[in-house]
A and B are shown apart, each in its own frame.
Chain A
Amino acid sequence: GIQVEQSPPDLILQEGANSTLRCNFSDSVNNLQWFHQNPWGQLINLFYIPSGTKQNGRLSATTVATERYSLLYISSSQTTDSGVYFCAVGIIGSEIQGAQKLVFGQGTRLTINP
């Protein structure tokens, strides 16, 4: 099956720093999503980005589908940015109905210290 690799696994930064998180995937995908999981377990949608570049405030993301990777940029980090960041790729899970499923990477655990 498809492999989704995220790096780095852990990242510790001071408040105000910038960071880049990477997601590599081993095969063509239908879509790609970035999530932030907060300490209570809620998965928060950051970007739906099968290709191209998007920006939302201090966060931006770029997916280069032909080279099978995506990057998430966080600028001017705040302590509330702490948590686990997941990349998830969408693939066809059922040929009969074309139903899609998300396959998650292992995540990057980000800690922002004050």
Chain B
Amino acid sequence: DTEVTQTPKHLVMGMTNKKSLKCEQHMGHRAMYWYKQKAKKPPELMFVYSYEKLSINESVPSRFSPECPNSSLLNLHLHALQPEDSALYLCASSLDVVGLAEGKSSYNEQFFGPGTRLTVL
């Protein structure tokens, strides 16, 4: 089963709201990722969690707050967003973050969820 699930599918929020995006996988993957994709652009990495610890933060504004409560779950907490934050938010997971050593060459293959389409009014 190579499925990553994301909820909600769509979210509309005001600039003063607090909301959360949820991502879940049950493939035993130990690395999870958040990407942001604007219209007609490629996905851009926001955060990487490895073994439930934050490994990469791509200088994302603090109004985006990631959380990894356990190895299967990844949240993205949203607060005081701006209209320009409207985008498709994609979650991904991989077995591990590294993998070229010792023949584990496919450990870092990433699998994506269907995304949450966020609109900030």
The interface residues of chain A, by DSSP majority, are classed as strand
Q: How far is the CB of A63 from chain B (nearest CB, A)?
A: 12
| Chain A: CB-nearest residue to B48 | A99
Interface string of B44-57 (1 = CB under 8 A from A): 11001010010110
Cα–Cα, bound, A98→B31 (Å): 12
What residues of chain A lie closer than 8 Å to B2, measured between beta carbons? 45
Interface string of B87-121 (1 = CB under 8 A from A): 01010100001111000011011111011010000
User: In this assembly, does A26 line the interface, its C-beta being within 8 Å of a C-beta of chain B?
Assistant: no
B69 at interface by CB-CB < 8 Å: no
A interface residues (Cβ-Cβ under 8 A, vs B): 30-31, 33, 35, 40-43, 45, 48, 50, 86, 88, 90, 93-94, 96-107
Apart from A43-B112, A50-B105, A100-B98, what are 10 other A-B pairs with CB-CB below 8 Å? A31-B108, A35-B112, A41-B117, A43-B43, A45-B111, A50-B100, A97-B55, A101-B33, A104-B42, A104-B43
Contact residues of B with A, CB < 8 Å? 2, 31, 33, 37, 41-45, 48, 50, 53, 55-56, 58, 88, 90, 92, 97-100, 105-106, 108-112, 114-115, 117
